[in-house]
Chains A and B, each alone.
Chain A
């Protein structure tokens, strides 16, 4: 089945130690998104790629970076995780970024910072 896959499902890192979360998709969608979701809150968009074009949200900290080496894969890099970065990180995809485009989410990676 076509889907959005995130690995690992759980990630533990140390304060200040760089960590990378990965997302892959078999939907062949042009757009890939990264969201941060803290407990009991709605997902918050960090950035997205339309094809190779990177679009950062204005309030996304510089500590968060992303890479998209090809259509199928997208990575979230947290350069120096702080305790406040502990959250669920969700990857989503959509066919395009136009009107009426539904976003499909992966299962998420829960990040714990010690």
Chain B
């Protein structure tokens, strides 16, 4: 079936380093992608999104890259801070599931001071 998955379940980095979190998706009809950050005991927080007609989008300290050829999505966090420690989920929608998000399994990012 359709799925969105992550290559790395955990990622540990030093404060100030750049972080890259990866996500693979299998639904070739997916045309909208979102990255969420979820801190312990809280709901997912929107970080950044990207449409399928783009291959890169930048926000404040974050960049999302989309490679439709290999169905791969990544989130880059520049100058990672301890406050970035959280679980990061990618989510996609599109095809027959407009308006419904399919979530990846999540990556735990730990930032060491």
Please report A residues at the B interface, Cβ cutoff 8 Å: 4, 6, 31, 40-43, 45, 48, 50, 90, 92, 94, 96-108, 110
Query: In the assembly, what is the distance between CA of A107 and CA of B41, in Å?
Result: 8
A98–B34 touching, CB < 8 Å: no
Please report B residues at the A interface, Cβ cutoff 8 Å: 31-32, 34, 36, 41-46, 49, 51, 89, 93-94, 98-101, 103-106
Residues of A contacting B: mostly: loop
B105–A41 touching, CB < 8 Å: yes
A90–B43 touching, CB < 8 Å: yes
List of B residues within 8 angstroms of A48 by Cβ = 100
Tell me the nearest residue of chain B to A50, going by C-beta. B99
Q: What's the least CB distance linking A107 to chain B, in Å?
A: 5
Query: In the assembly, what is the distance between CA of A102 and CA of B35, in Å?
Result: 10
A42–B105 touching, CB < 8 Å: yes
Q: What's the least CB distance linking A57 to chain B, in Å?
A: 9
- Give 28 A-B contacts (CB < 8 Å), ordered by A residue: A4-B43, A6-B43, A31-B99, A41-B105, A41-B106, A42-B103, A42-B104, A42-B105, A43-B44, A43-B89, A45-B101, A90-B43, A94-B99, A96-B99, A97-B100, A98-B99, A99-B31, A99-B94, A100-B49, A101-B99, A102-B34, A103-B34, A103-B101, A105-B44, A105-B45, A106-B43, A107-B43, A110-B41
Query: In the assembly, what is the distance between CA of A101 and CA of B98, in Å?
Result: 9
A108–B101 touching, CB < 8 Å: no
- Evaluate whether A42 and B106 lie within 8 angstroms (CB atoms) in the complex, with A97-B98, A103-B101, A104-B46 already known: yes
A97–B99 touching, CB < 8 Å: yes
B89–A42 touching, CB < 8 Å: yes
A108–B99 touching, CB < 8 Å: no
Tell me the nearest residue of chain A to B99, going by C-beta. A97
Query: In the assembly, what is the distance between CA of A48 and CA of B100, in Å?
Result: 9
List of B residues within 8 angstroms of A108 by Cβ = 41-43
